[in-house]
Amino acid sequence: DIVVEASMEPVGNVPELVRFGMQMALPGKYSTMTWLGRGPHENYWDRNSGAAVGLYSGSVEDLLHVYTRPQESSNRTDVRWLTLTDKSGGGLLVVADKTLATAALHFTAEDLSRAKHINELTPRPETILCLDYAQCGLGNGSCGPGVLDKYALRPRPCQYGFCLQPYSPADGDPQALADRVLPLAGAPQINRDAEGRVGITAPDGVAVRYTLDGTEPTSQSTLYTGPFAFLAGGIIKARSYGQGLLPGRTAEATFPRHLWELSRGKPASASSVENEGRAPAAGNDGVTATRWCAAGGSVPQWWQVDLEQPREISACDILWEFDDRGYCYRIEGSLDGKQWTKLVDREARPQSGETQRHEFATTKARYLRLTVTKLQEDPLTWASLYEFRALGQ
């Protein structure tokens, strides 16, 4: 058996995902897929209530849904196990640790994306198998609303796995093989919350041992008993152990020095405010759906926050409204709101409007001011941001 595990640990302002999974290519002779999951037709996270869970089988060629314009196709959700077999009935058995979203085609996702019409598709000689943790829902963005929030694939810590093994009809019923329990402890997962506390999760019935110095955990390493503070940053490694089980894969996570968000909800002011109510307080309310916007496209324009007491500031995050336009700006700090010290200088050339993290020498300040000094030459671009975050101790 080959046990495959994957985990995702988003860091920073990661956008929504289309899918999280893996892909492999098999010889094209493995052209019959049998699966226990939703079917028989293709189905997706937000379009599967009409696809009952059952045992289904079909040729890889027939699994493709022929759209006039080629696009994502053939996915099946809630798959417990599947086989890809040749004419003799032998091939590969895939068993999910929970459930998978799967697709088997003679095309890659790139093939489907590049072709404008179905006649432009040329089948590959291989069978392309996708084994996904999940895909984003389809929505109806071509002629209606996009994906409902509950079907969006948000970037969050997650993990999944599956087992691969050769299969022959002589091995017996695939369901019986899928029901076997492998003597392997599952991999733990390491997270750190907004308060700088680390939590480690693992399957029931195993003990987790961890290290904080980057060394490989052993059965004698520190036993995890509950969340603990990890503010200094560094490498954490963890491994699961269980009686009668092989040790699981070592999980690893690297965390920077923990910085507290100091500016959320603090009093904010600005040089001007658009007349639609984009108040300065929207720039540090912790809600990315609200924004501060200046009253027009003239510059300079500034936005300022009062931390209410002097704090040790080490970094700032800026989440601009327009992620495809450029800004020239500076960030300054002050103890009294009169004498200012420049902390960040981005005035020489336009910076990307994507989320910006600026780190600098730790500075004591009560007031922080962001001043936009130049905008990309676009009459629709005004100084505007969703969130400004001051980070420090």
Question: Could you report the per-residue pLDDT of 253-283, keeping only the tens digit for each?
Answer: 999 888 889 999 999 999 999 876 578 999 9
Write down the pTM of the prediction.
Answer: 0.60
Residue by residue, what is the 3-state secondary structure of the chain? CEEEEEEECCCCCCCCECEEEEEEEECCCCCEEEEEEEECCCCECCECCCCEEEEEEEEHHHHCCCCCCCCCCCCEEEEEEEEEECCCCCEEEEEEEEEEEEEEECCCHHHHHHCCCHHHCCCCCCEEEEEEEEECCCCCCCCCCCCCHHHCECCCCEEEEEEEEEECHHHCCHHHHHCCCCCECCCCEEEECCCCEEEEECCCCCEEEEECCCCCCCCCCEECCCCEECCCCEEEEEEEECCCCECCCCEEEEECCCCEECCCCCCEEECCCCCCCCCHHHHHCCCCCCCEECCCCCCCEEEEEEEEEEEEEEEEEEEECCCCCCEEEEEEEECCCCCCEEEEEEEEEEECCCCEEEEEEEEEEEEEEEEEEEECCCCCCCCEEEEEEEEEC
What are the tens digits of pLDDT across the range 180-205?
878 888 889 899 987 889 999 988 88
What are the tens digits of pLDDT across the range 4-49?
988 887 877 788 899 999 999 999 999 999 999 999 999 999 999 9
**Residue 246 pLDDT > 70:** yes
- Give residue 348's pLDDT band: very low, low, confident or very high (50, 70, 90): confident
**Residue 359 pLDDT > 80:** yes
- Give residue 378's pLDDT band: very low, low, confident or very high (50, 70, 90): low
What average pLDDT does the segment 343-367 reach?
86
The pLDDT score that the predictor gives to residue 379 is: 66
How many Å apart are CA 182 and CA 1, to the nearest integer?
A: 9
Share of residues in the chain with pLDDT > 70 (%) = 98
374 contact partners, CB below 8 Å, separation of at least 6: 299, 327, 328, 347, 350
